[in-house]
Structure 1
Amino acid sequence: MNKQTTLIIGASSAIAKALAAQVIADPDAELVLVSRDVSYYQSAEFEHAKLVRVSDYQEAEIGLAVARIQRATESDIARVFICHGVLHNDNCQPEKRLEDFSAASFTEIVSANTITPMLWLKSLMPILTGRQKCKVVVFSARVGSIADNAIGGWYSYRASKAAMNMLLKSAAVELARRAKNIKLISFHPGTTDTPLSKPFQRSVPDGKLFTSEFVAEQLLSIVADTPVDGTASFLDWQGKTIPW
């Protein structure tokens, strides 16, 4: 069997680490990891992984990173996981009321959740296009579904994920003409026990707070089972379609 490359971008997140651990266990897989902090991967477990450290996620740095990825890979890239996502930090919190909306917070959330993944997609296209079927997963969220929004709130986060979904749908239309080997997947991991969800876990129903390992296993199975069909898919952790 020919080796195929898996590329994980934003590799310092909890789900990305779980993905990396499961991928590296496959002797036929080549793994490339991109992050601002690659210290987690300085262990014997990942001695065969290729590490690409970036200083930031500005467009110029992303372009340089893609050139390094191309030089580092020995086989075609078959899977890409773009794991960026910000819900809250020291500067931003999900808005409960219109009065909480802030231009500065909105700009920061959209930059991380929408613009950065799109810049990666743009820069990666030249090295993904070809004969090798390639599935590109961008981490989204169910709250990015316009049709599914029944409770409101979380203005910036919802808008950033909805915008990412629209960009992926538009990109899929274009790629169906010029890069038929690429499949785009917008993925909702469910509520996962990570720092991102920590402040909101008290309201999660029993059995609906997932480990990163469970989500990674589900995602790898979903990617394997999803055909390259010239469209974008919006899927949850069960592989079920979410309305856009």
Structure 2
Amino acid sequence: MIKQNISLIIVLTGINQGNALIVGASQGIGLGFVQYLLQQENIAKIYATYRQKETANELLALKIEFGDRLECLQVDVTIESDIAAAAAHIKESSKRLHLAIYCVGVLHEEDLTPEKSLRQIDPENLLYSFQVNSIGAVLLAKHLMPLFKKGEPSVFASVSAKVGSIGDNRLGGWYGYRASKAALNMFLKTTAIEYSRRCPQTIVLALHPGTTDTRLSQPFQKNVPPGKLFAVEHTVNLLSKVIQQANIKDSGKFFSWDGSELPW
């Protein structure tokens, strides 16, 4: 389990009993955030989503261990009605949120692989990449907005990727993943502008986690320099610190795991 003495919600909001939502919590960084938040005594309720029960065994085991404090919701982020239903359920049961983190992402899956050249581009794969990596996040922002109360500080964050930075793209390739993460960044920047009017104490962040030892990165780990492949626990601690240090002036910005701001 991920342990840290600092309470994320207390640092962020000053709320004694905060509510959190982790989307894409069945494995990897999302599961790591759930484990981390469960150790924070000042968080009253954690909502965690998964797509398929078959791949959510660890998450569902945590539900058995922690009872009503953790609620698991089955959500497919490519289906807006699933997202809307989850938001409606949270509104009915908890009324408000103080932290939401979108941890869903796809780089390879069945016939989907990162494109090395234009010859490999498949329109259906591109559409799927956008659905998962970017559209799901902005739909989440749409349906969660009423849960971020004007008078209470909160954070809406999404795990992005440095390869989604247009300014940092020097190697090419990975068309679908790069473009969908760039779209995610634009969605978050635009969301931050609207949130500044409708829920002005909500900070919107795009976060680059570094290369983390998850299923998403496994086929590409052999090329990672020594010391640059992070354990999930380490990544979650790093990103938690970035979130803790953010203020409202940082809303709509793109940060790396070390706290440095990344170019668009």
Amino acid at match of 1:224: Q
Question: SS of the residue aligned with 1:210?
Answer: coil
Q: Which runs of 4+ in 1 moved over 6 A?
A: none
For 2:68 and 2:42, locate their aligned partners in 1 and report how far apart those are by CA, in whole Å: 12
Residue aligning to 1:23: 37
TM-score w.r.t. length of structure 2 = 0.87
For 1:151 and 1:230, locate their aligned partners in 2 and report how far apart those are by CA, in whole Å: 28
Structure 1 position 34 matched with structure 2 position 49: yes
Structure 1 position 144 matched with structure 2 position 197: no
TM-score w.r.t. length of structure 1 = 0.94
Residue aligning to 1:232: 252
C-alpha contact 2:192 2:204 (8 A) present in aligned 1: yes
For 2:250 and 2:117, locate their aligned partners in 1 and report how far apart those are by CA, in whole Å: 39
- Structure 2 portions without partners, runs of 5+: 1-14
For 2:220 and 2:104, locate their aligned partners in 1 and report how far apart those are by CA, in whole Å: 19
- 1:130 deviates by 2.1
Alignment CA distance shift 1:178-1:53 (3 Å): closer
* 2:89 paired residue among 62, 68, 91: 68
Question: SS of the residue aligned with 1:11?
Answer: coil
- 1:5 deviates by 1.2
C-alpha contact 2:75 2:83 (8 A) present in aligned 1: no
C-alpha contact 1:35 1:53 (8 A) present in aligned 2: yes
Residue aligning to 2:27: 13
Alignment CA distance shift 1:25-1:231 (3 Å): closer
Question: SS of the residue aligned with 1:8?
Answer: strand
C-alpha contact 2:205 2:250 (8 A) present in aligned 1: no
For 1:117 and 1:4, locate their aligned partners in 2 and report how far apart those are by CA, in whole Å: 21
Amino acid at match of 1:93: T
- Structure 1 portions without partners, runs of 5+: none
- 1:177 deviates by 2.2
The alignment covers a number of residue pairs equal to 243
- Percent identity, aligned pairs only? 35
Q: How does 1:126-137 map to 2 (within 5 A)?
A: 126-137=146-157
Question: SS of the residue aligned with 1:64?
Answer: helix
- 1:46 deviates by 2.8
RMSD across aligned positions (CA): 1.6
